[in-house]
Structure 1
Amino acid sequence: MLKRLYLKGRFFIAVGIITALFLFAFPFPSLFPIARLAFFLLILLSVFDIYALFRLKDPLFARRLLPERLSNGNANDISIYLENRYPFSIRLELIDELPFQFQKRDLLYRTSLRSAETKEIIYQLRPVKRGEYDFGALNLFASGRLGLVQRRFRFEQEETVKVYPSFLQMRRFELLAISNRLQEAGIKKVRRLGNSMEFEQVRNYVIGDDPRFINWKATARKGDIMLNAFQEERSQQVYSLIDKGRGMQMPFEGLSLMDYAINASLVLANTALLKGDKAGLVTFSNKMGNMVQAGKQRSHLNTILEVLYNQRTQYLESNYELLYATLRRKVTQRSLLVLFTNFESLSGMKRQLPYLKGLAKYHLLLTVFFENTELKEVLDSYPADTESIYLKTTAEKFAYEKRLIVKELNLHGIQALLTPPADLTINTINKYLEFKARSLL
């Protein structure tokens, strides 16, 4: 029992007051009976408080409710169910033993429960690394009406939860797509500029349609302008190529660039499947990683999710020659290749340019790399001294070189996307929809 008994601050305040009374009783003897009475009263009340808290065997119940898996980079809801079986109201302090990855040692919640009352406490956790997270026990500290002592309860709730790529972000985009509200997430509406040759139907002309596809015979017959409508091409292959080299280890807002790329790849795969296309995945660094051949079954998304879960950054330079050779051998149908990488310098990109040009010859290649958003504060600042001038000049050089990389890639017929990490998913999906609308595949 002693291991579960804790004295509260109210008890020590009472001890301090009684001690002061005893001290003042030396010059003022009339205070001695009051001090002695207060001392015995404190002992009596403390014993009563201890008895009330410890007389029942299981007066409290607590359970942590965890989802089956956590979503990387998102706020995940964790709930704790509490039940008070005491015949009186209690005040509670709750400490949850979180996985070490969160580095939180101050997760303390205070609440109160009436007799026979139940309550649910919900808090949020945002993991920034994929992997297994071990939750520990739930520690409750209950105090009664007097609040002099506390009883500790420990509920063994050890549980391991896996953190997967951001499936919450994927679901959000999926729900917006189903309800035709993608504009709320920043997805642009792109008017179809091209067409496939697969005829769908003859329908009424509306403003914005291409007048080249007016069906004049049907127009003369109906007395209204009629248009030949073509079905959007489907079953096209969309591959996400994820660079796992050392350049993708750079962190932004807690997440590495590779984790941003993994989250965007999952949303891209889901969007491609919703559009009727096939989604595939390739990971690489100094050697080839995993390859998931493009498929269109809904269960295919779970295969991609499981592969993305196990990816780890390598600390060597990526081998683009090996990537080119592997794709030429294994991806024979013209496909959209979305390469997530991070070129920090023009010279670094030019070393890989021959292999990128080779891929762009047989496929539609979109090279996605990242803006260094940490430089924005430096670029927007006013230099106050010589050192600040040097820093700003260097930052402008890096930012300018990133824009040069985009122009250099475009000159060689390679699509390029320079984006802040936070906007990666939205900008990638916009590019994919643009390619679909323009029938570039």
Structure 2
Amino acid sequence: MEPTQQQAEQLQQQLELIQMFPWLVLVALTIPLIIVARRKVYPHIVYPLALLIPTVLTAGIIFDATWLVPALAADALILSVSLLDLFTLPSTSSLRAERHHNKVASIVKNSNVAFRMINESSRRLRLTLLDDLPETFEVEESIFRTSIGKRETKEFQYSFKPTKRGQFNLQCIHVRSRSLLGFWVRHLTVPVETQIHVYPDLHQLSHYALLARTNRLNLLGVRRTRKVGQDNEFERLREYTRDDHYRNINWRSTARHNKLIVQDYQNTQSQRIIFLIDCGRMMTNESADMTFVDHALNSMLMLSHVALSKGDSVGLICFSDKIHCFVPPRSGMSQMNQLLHASFNQFPRMVESRYDEAFLYLANRCNKRALVILITNVVDEVNSQQVVQYMQTVSRRHLPISVMLRDHNIFDEAEQTKSLYNAAAAAQILNWRHDVLNTLTHRGAFAMDVFPEDMTTPIINQYLEIKARHLL
């Protein structure tokens, strides 16, 4: 028998052996891929394209068995080259990152971030970079494709717009690197920890200050309240408005400016305001794409700005099933920073609110008389009884205001006509809420029933009225 025929028979026997144990071939091919995948290494498109060469040669075995040797040789060559190329992938220790940005950002405002990627390896690397940003950050350009030479540093910049307030931790930078010949891709995470505090948008505060300086607060719905009594001191001169008393006209300044000028007075007594903001499950409801807690915090910051500008002290307690934060009442505009820092990371929680814990905490830490403003949402008998009981108790020392937030869904159900049963149930809840508010008023507390998005102006007007009537 000729040598070539003998070789053909041997190759035929080897093929039959492989066909008898195909799972051995499958295991031999998949185990290496599983091993490298555990290290986050995956084949790139170049690898399957290179495997087309032995695939074509293997298909030729159907017509000529002697093609088996070239096919196996091509397989061995590609496997060897790919294994050698595997060792050219960079490790985590060959890359280092630095990130720089402002620690504080404002919601729906653009902020800039700059980070550096440092290549500490001895060869050029082809990288794709993605920063570890939260899903609530809107970014126009977040993926950077680059090539960094050996011992080289490159800097990248982008801007983001946060859509949710709170504290966010940026843990790392995600890196996808390619091997030297392009057979493999590796996913790395380069650690670089920084923190961003996203505060609420304070545009409404600057808008209020502008209108206050130009005597146009009526555009916000803030009413001018006539002060009762003489516990006032001179603050400033301004133009006369329709609600001013004629006794406050400064005739000398009026003659000088040829128009009516009145004297503004401010209360000389520094008073205290303490907010109790419920962060329990009933405050998870949303109105105008914001939770009830978001609306409550925005109104708290707005009224705090007004009160602090008038020399009063402002404090804050956020609670749900426990006390989450406490800011002791203090005066001065620097107190706004304390209130912002304490409230920016407060969110509603799916737990039952403990009003007893909140009012006990208030009693232990606030002995002096204060204006206590409770902002909550109550739709059940048990919680409403607790609110009435504790507001009545606190009225012996403080002046309480209970702000009950309305739910649009309940009011919409009461007005719809498709389901009379749902409308009747919603109307019953509204009547019950009305009785609760009347009970609070009879027990010595001010009661307000408002939609969350319309809460700020009524609270400010109530505060100004209380201050003008010297109820504290």
The normalised TM-score by structure 1 is 0.65
8 Å CA contact 1:128–1:255 kept in 2: the answer is: no
Which residue type is aligned with residue 63 of structure 1? E
| Equivalent residue, structure 2, for 1:192 | 224
| Equivalent residue, structure 2, for 1:340 | 375
Shift in alpha-carbon separation, 1:78–1:46, aligned structure 2, 3 A: farther
SS at match of 2:266: coil
In structure 2, C-alpha distance between the alignment counterparts of 1:398 and 1:61, rounded to whole Å:
60
SS at match of 2:225: coil
Which residue type is aligned with residue 92 of structure 1? T
Map Cα deviations across residues 284-305 of structure 1 (whole Å, 9 max, x no partner): 7899998755321345455556
| Equivalent residue, structure 1, for 2:429 | 398
Which residue type is aligned with residue 276 of structure 1? G
Which residue type is aligned with residue 119 of structure 1? F
Shift in alpha-carbon separation, 1:257–1:76, aligned structure 2, 3 A: farther
Per-residue deviation, 1:56: 12
In structure 1, C-alpha distance between the alignment counterparts of 2:312 and 2:92, rounded to whole Å:
62
Shift in alpha-carbon separation, 1:277–1:440, aligned structure 2, 3 A: same
In structure 2, C-alpha distance between the alignment counterparts of 1:41 and 1:225, rounded to whole Å:
98
- Work out whether 1:281 is the aligned partner of 2:316: yes
Which residue type is aligned with residue 446 of structure 2? Q
Corresponding residue to 2:464 among 414, 428, 436:
436
SS at match of 2:379: coil
8 Å CA contact 1:24–1:31 kept in 2: the answer is: no
How many residue pairs are counted as aligned between the two chains?
416
8 Å CA contact 1:22–1:31 kept in 2: the answer is: no
Which residue type is aligned with residue 120 of structure 1? Q
| Equivalent residue, structure 2, for 1:213 | 247
Shift in alpha-carbon separation, 1:139–1:412, aligned structure 2, 3 A: same
Q: Which has the larger radius of gyration?
A: 2
Shift in alpha-carbon separation, 1:44–1:297, aligned structure 2, 3 A: same
SS at match of 2:175: strand
Shift in alpha-carbon separation, 1:154–1:7, aligned structure 2, 3 A: same
| Equivalent residue, structure 2, for 1:370 | 405
Per-residue deviation, 1:92: 0.9
8 Å CA contact 2:279–2:348 kept in 1: the answer is: no
8 Å CA contact 1:286–1:319 kept in 2: the answer is: no
Q: More deviation in 304-313 or 359-368?
A: 304-313
In structure 2, C-alpha distance between the alignment counterparts of 1:277 and 1:29, rounded to whole Å:
97
In structure 2, C-alpha distance between the alignment counterparts of 1:281 and 1:342, rounded to whole Å:
18
Per-residue deviation, 1:394: 2.9
Per-residue deviation, 1:141: 1.5
SS at match of 1:394: helix
| Equivalent residue, structure 2, for 1:416 | 447
In structure 1, C-alpha distance between the alignment counterparts of 2:412 and 2:125, rounded to whole Å:
52
Which residue type is aligned with residue 373 of structure 2? V
Matched-pair identity in %:
16
Where in structure 1 are there 5+ consecutive unaligned residues?
none
In structure 1, C-alpha distance between the alignment counterparts of 2:302 and 2:238, rounded to whole Å:
34
Corresponding residue to 1:92 among 128, 132, 141:
128
Shift in alpha-carbon separation, 1:358–1:194, aligned structure 2, 3 A: farther
Map Cα deviations across residues 247-294 of structure 1 (whole Å, 9 max, x no partner): 656565999766764565455434422343221335678999987553
- Work out whether 1:229 is the aligned partner of 2:263: yes
| Equivalent residue, structure 1, for 2:12 | none
Shift in alpha-carbon separation, 1:409–1:141, aligned structure 2, 3 A: same
| Equivalent residue, structure 1, for 2:157 | 120
Corresponding residue to 2:61 among 22, 26, 46:
26
Map 1:278-357 → 2, pairs under 5 A: 278-282=313-317, 294-301=329-336, 315=352, 317-319=354-356, 326=363, 330-332=367-369, 335-345=370-380, 349=384, 352-353=387-388, 356=391
Which residue type is aligned with residue 297 of structure 1? G
Per-residue deviation, 1:112: 0.6
Map Cα deviations across residues 146-172 of structure 1 (whole Å, 9 max, x no partner): 64322444423356x597xx7x22644
Shift in alpha-carbon separation, 1:354–1:10, aligned structure 2, 3 A: closer
In structure 2, C-alpha distance between the alignment counterparts of 1:243 and 1:193, rounded to whole Å:
27
Higher relative contact order (CA 8 A, sep 6+): 1
Per-residue deviation, 1:344: 1.6
Where in structure 2 are there 5+ consecutive unaligned residues?
1-34
SS at match of 1:25: helix
Root-mean-square deviation over aligned CA pairs: 5.7
Per-residue deviation, 1:17: 3.3
8 Å CA contact 1:91–1:113 kept in 2: the answer is: yes
Which residue type is aligned with residue 280 of structure 1? G
Which residue type is aligned with residue 428 of structure 1? T
Shift in alpha-carbon separation, 1:336–1:49, aligned structure 2, 3 A: same
SS at match of 2:246: helix
The normalised TM-score by structure 2 is 0.62
Shift in alpha-carbon separation, 1:228–1:255, aligned structure 2, 3 A: closer
Per-residue deviation, 1:346: 6.6
8 Å CA contact 1:235–1:296 kept in 2: the answer is: no
Shift in alpha-carbon separation, 1:63–1:4, aligned structure 2, 3 A: farther
| Equivalent residue, structure 1, for 2:307 | 272
8 Å CA contact 1:287–1:318 kept in 2: the answer is: no
Per-residue deviation, 1:21: 1.9
Map 1:125-136 → 2, pairs under 5 A: 136=171
SS at match of 1:150: strand
| Equivalent residue, structure 1, for 2:32 | none
In structure 2, C-alpha distance between the alignment counterparts of 1:125 and 1:220, rounded to whole Å:
50
SS at match of 2:455: helix
Corresponding residue to 2:117 among 44, 62, 83:
83
Map Cα deviations across residues 32-85 of structure 1 (whole Å, 9 max, x no partner): 699789768856875786576549983x442344764788x9899694614365
Per-residue deviation, 1:434: 5.5
Which residue type is aligned with residue 314 of structure 2? A
In structure 1, C-alpha distance between the alignment counterparts of 2:333 and 2:393, rounded to whole Å:
32
